[in-house]
Homo-oligomer: A and B are copies of this chain.
Amino acid sequence: MDSLLPENERTRHRRLRDQGSRVRADLDAILAAGFVCHVGVVVDGTPLVVPTVYGCDAGTLYFHGSVASRSLVAGVADEVCVTVTHVDGLVLARSLFEHGVNYRSAMVFGVPRAVTDPEEKLEGLRILSEHSAPGQWDYARRPSKKELAATVLLALSLDEASVKIRVGPPDDGDGPDVALGLWAGVLPLETRWGALQADPVLPAGIEPPEHLVRLSGDGR
C-alpha cells in the first residue's frame, strides 16, 4: 500500500482537490526531480520568497540558511514554507476558462533547525551537493573548517508536506465547447542539461570528469 503523508489544517487540500496527492512517493519524486526551491519566510509580518538550492534524504530537506538570515540572525526559529515546482506544460483547452498548467508541486512546512554539529553539517552539505551536482562531492575540493563555519545549513523535516499534481489533456473534452471544433491539447515544456561550458580561464588539457559528461548528455 502507498505510504501516505499525514494531513492537517495546513496540508489538507482545499482547492482543486482532484489535483492533491497524499502519496509520499509523489513527494519524494518531486523533490528528487529538482534542485531549486522557493523558501517562504515571514519578515516583519510580510512574506519573503527566495529561490535557493536544496537537497534531501528520506526524511529531511537541507537548504542554505542565508536565505532566511534576517530571521536567523535574530535567533528566532521561524516557520518556513519550502515549495518545489516543476512546470510540465500548458493545458490548451477549448475555452480560456479551462486553460491551465500541467505541473508537479510540493510544499513542505515547518520550523527548520540550524545544523551546528560539524559532522552532521558536512553530511548535510554532501546530501545537498550530491542532489544538485551529483558526482562533484568526490571530485571538487571539500569545504575547509573555515568554509564550514561560514555556512549556515538548515534542516527541515519532511513530515508536514502537501503535494499537487496535474497531468493530462484539458478537462473540457466532454463538454459543450467541443462543438466549437477547436484544437485542444497540451504543449509540453521540457527541461534538459545543455553542453558543458568550460571556464574561459581553464588551462588547456583539463577535460571534464566523466560524471559531468554523462550528466550533460542526459535530460533531467
Binding site for B on A (CB under 8 A): 10, 14-15, 36, 38-42, 45-51, 53, 66, 69-70, 79-83, 85, 87, 89-90, 92-97, 99-101, 103, 105, 107, 109, 125, 129, 132-133, 136-137, 139-144, 147, 151, 169-170, 173-174, 177-178, 180-203, 206-209, 212, 215-216, 220
Q: Contacts of A49 on B, CB cut-off 8 Å? A: 38-40, 47, 49, 81-83, 107
Q: Contacts of A41 on B, CB cut-off 8 Å? A: 47
How many copies, total?
2
Report whether B182 and A206 are in contact in the complex, using a CB–CB cutoff of 8 Å.
yes
Report whether A202 and B184 are in contact in the complex, using a CB–CB cutoff of 8 Å.
yes
Report whether B212 and A187 are in contact in the complex, using a CB–CB cutoff of 8 Å.
yes
A-B contact sample (10 more), CB < 8 A, given A95-B141, A99-B136, A187-B216: A10-B46, A47-B47, A47-B49, A49-B49, A51-B87, A89-B197, A96-B129, A96-B140, A96-B141, A188-B193
25 pairs of residues in contact across A and B, judged by CB atoms under 8 Å:
A15-B69, A36-B87, A36-B101, A38-B40, A39-B49, A41-B47, A42-B45, A42-B47, A46-B79, A46-B81, A47-B49, A50-B107, A53-B100, A95-B142, A96-B142, A97-B151, A140-B182, A169-B197, A169-B199, A183-B206, A183-B208, A184-B202, A187-B212, A187-B215, A192-B192
Partner of A92, one of B66, B109, B136: B136
Q: Contacts of A48 on B, CB cut-off 8 Å? A: 40, 47, 81, 107
Q: Contacts of A185 on B, CB cut-off 8 Å? A: 196-199, 202, 208
Q: How far is the CA of A215 from the CA of B182 in the complex (A)?
A: 17
Of A14, A49, A50, A196, chain B has the most CB atoms within 10 Å of the CB of A49
Partner of A202, one of B79, B125, B183: B183
Report whether A188 and B182 are in contact in the complex, using a CB–CB cutoff of 8 Å.
no
Q: Contacts of A196 on B, CB cut-off 8 Å? A: 185-187
Give the residue name and chain of the B residue nearest to A139 (CB). Answer: B182
